[in-house]
A = this chain, B = another copy of it.
């Protein structure tokens, strides 16, 4: 295990000064094409790679963004994946730090600060906005919009997402919709409010939750109501998220209610669950690339002292769990 070569080694090998090697590697102005090649050749021969620690230490503008995410967060993995290219395009490096049951958000934030992150991207933060604002670097709250002036935020437009789901179902001919909400989960209030706003006074909302068992419980209620009034029963359900929707679909099918023929179901998140071959859930999709781009942009702006609050519009992935209602012309005719 030979010692890692340094800039001085490369300089000696190429017969130039360290400073020049630095210039070449930052591809800054001030080096001739010929020397550039010579330096690169020497570096290649030695297997040199610049040491990020020293680089970060010296340059005030470190170019390092810290990302705090939850390992079990439904959508976090996809989003982090999308942030890598977005950050690279903007000239930022990324340092990841996970939070979870065994590691608090504060610990995750702290370790990123220690590494010298210039700004922090916090996915679905637990921490209160005031505390985030008090950190020594700017923070972008991702997936959770914030009102605080000193905390930028990038989130999906929940109202638009619910709007897409409702419009899709209405377009298929569904007259009576029901929303199974997320209970106390993050984002539940916004989605519920959006549904109520669209449906007006007659909006039917069943309290549920973000898990498949919550979905199962809510579906059981739905079934009971369905038996009570077979005609007035809803023909389509907008469920808080995919996991709950899975529980809903399972209970319905077990009870002999066909999906989508008897009841259409729309999920939310378009997670891997929704795409499973035997599920094929129509689901509201948050666009990871758009969110990632907006997030990196917000970080850059925040570094300049401007704290943006961005809402990214979602889209709808239509799969097999939605169809026109049983009585509608488009299914009976053909």
Contacts and interface: CB of A to CB of B under 8 A. Distances in A.
Interface of A: 1-2, 4, 47, 49-54, 56-57, 71-72, 77-78, 80-82, 84-85, 93-98, 100-103, 110-111, 113-116, 136-138, 211-213, 216, 243, 246-247, 250-251, 272, 276-278
Contacts of A2: 136
Nearest to A47: B136
A116 B53 contact: yes
Contacts of A211: 277
Contacts of A71: 77-78, 80-81
Contact of A53 (B50, B102, B115): B115
Nearest to A213: B277
Nearest to A272: B72
Contact of A212 (B103, B115, B278): B278
Contacts of A1: 136-138
B278 A110 contact: no
A102 B116 contact: no
Contact of A136 (B4, B95, B243, B276): B4
Given A1-B136, A212-B278, A116 B57 contact: no
7 contacts: A53-B115, A72-B272, A85-B102, A93-B111, A94-B111, A96-B97, A250-B278
Given A1-B136, A53-B56, A216-B278, A98 B96 contact: yes
Given A47-B136, A96-B98, 16 more contacts: A4-B136, A50-B114, A52-B111, A53-B54, A53-B56, A53-B57, A72-B77, A81-B98, A84-B102, A84-B103, A96-B97, A115-B115, A211-B277, A212-B278, A243-B276, A247-B278
A54 B51 contact: no
